[in-house]
Amino acid sequence: MTCSTLYTALITPFQEGSLDSSGLQSLIERQLEASVPGLLVLGSTAEALSLTSQEKMEIYHCARAQWTRKSLMVGCGSHPTQRAIEECALYTDADALLVACPSYSRPTQEGLLRHFLTLADKTSVPIVLYNHPKRTGVNLEATTTIELAKHPQIIGIKETHFANILPLTIHLRETSFSVMTGNDNEAYAGALLGTTGTISTLSNLLPRDMLSLMEAALEKDYRAADALYKELAPLMEQLDQVSNPIALKAAMEHFALPSGSPRLPLLPLENTLREKLQHLLDLCFANSLSAF
């Protein structure tokens, strides 16, 4: 299996604090209509740490029922390693599992190596590594990823530590291992360095534009990619002002898309930033970004 060019890291819509099931179905259908090739549920954008076990399973089964002919990735895994194995076993019908480095415990590189190799040996679904040092407190170094890429069950990485991108693409270029960026503002630059795609938050709001950007970049149509990136970059920057998905949910709410406020400990976007974001959104859509 190879990973898709673009995965949308889907938000979890809430309504009065509860899971908005019909809103979730609507968001998935919107991604299908935009021809997005991959969907990620239960990631950090989905506020997975704030979901109950029952909610997680409902989201997973809803996505699997709708997302039938395209790649479905599910965020899972925790620590200790045995608990991560048990969690991964819940999603046997997924196409891939996105597994982050264990947070807070800050294992050594050897500990990370053994953790992921143990998971890969015990899990039937292909694994995509997720390196996000800002969230987990530990960096999965490029040399460790290159070693993990030798395992047939470990098929890719969502890499948010940009310094790792070039060594990964250089060493893994001739393999089937997928190196994907995990920050929207680095997706185009990553493609220039040889990544195979991206896992995007902005594509919740603008799936067609993000797909067009990645396709143009990977096809080396730099004129089209440059133009798209210039239009999208201010919005990417604005959405990154606070912890994801606070600003993203405010943007989706602005266009009456299912969203709802994030759950505590995250708070809704404060008014000053909300006003700036709304002004930018109206300006972007008054120009040439895709309409709803």
Question: How is 164-229 classified by DSSP, letter by letter?
Answer: GHHHHHHHHTTSS-EEEE-SGGGHHHHHHTT--EEEESGGGT-HHHHHHHHHHHHTT-HHHHHHHH
Fill in the DSSP letter of residue 7. Answer: E
Which residue type is seen at 235?
L
Give the pLDDT confidence score for residue 288 in this predicted structure: 57
User: How many CB atoms sit inside 10 A of residue 176's CB?
Assistant: 13
Where does residue 223 rank: exposed (0-12), middle (13-18), buried (19+ CB within 10 A)? exposed
Give the pLDDT confidence score for residue 285 in this predicted structure: 73
User: Which are the contacts of 102, defined by CB distance < 8 A and separation ≥ 6?
Assistant: 78, 79, 80, 81, 84, 112, 115, 136, 138
Where does residue 22 fall: left (phi above 0), alpha (psi -120 to 50 degrees), or beta otherwise?
A: alpha
Cα distance between the two ends of the chain: 32
pTM, full prediction: 0.94
Contact 127, 99 (CB under 8 A): yes
User: How many CB atoms sit inside 10 A of residue 291's CB?
Assistant: 6
Which residue type is seen at 71?
S
Instruction: Respond yes or no: is residue 222 known to be catalytic.
Output: no
Measured CA to CA in angstroms, residue 239 lies from 217, 229, 250, 278 at distances of 22, 15, 9, 11
Measured CA to CA in angstroms, residue 10 lies from 36, 170, 206, 229, 249 at distances of 12, 30, 12, 21, 11
Fill in the DSSP letter of residue 50. Answer: G
Give the pLDDT confidence score for residue 199 in this predicted structure: 98
* Candidate list 60, 130, 188, 229, residue with the active-site label: 130
- Condensed to tens digits (0 to 9), the pLDDT of residues 37-56 reads 999 999 999 999 999 999 99
Query: pLDDT below 70 — which residues of the chain?
Result: 1-2, 286-292
Local structure of 155: helix, strand or coil: strand
- Condensed to tens digits (0 to 9), the pLDDT of residues 93-148 reads 999 999 999 988 899 999 999 999 999 999 999 999 999 999 899 999 999 999 99
Q: Up-side HSE of residue 274: CA atoms within 13 Å toward CB?
A: 12
Domains of the chain from N-terminus onward = 6-220 (3.20.20.70)
Nearest C-alpha neighbor of 268 from the set 281, 250, 241, 243: 250
Distance from the Cα of residue 181 to its chain's centroid: 9
* Candidate list 158, 188, 229, 249, residue with the active-site label: 158
Fill in the DSSP letter of residue 265. Answer: T
HEC states along 72-109? EEEEECCCCHHHHHHHHCCCCCCCEEEEECCCCCCCCH
Measured CA to CA in angstroms, residue 65 lies from 47, 58, 270 at distances of 21, 11, 36
Give the pLDDT confidence score for residue 110 in this predicted structure: 97
Instruction: Respond yes or no: is residue 158 known to be catalytic.
Output: yes
Q: Up-side HSE of residue 150: CA atoms within 13 Å toward CB?
A: 6
Give the pLDDT confidence score for residue 289 in this predicted structure: 60
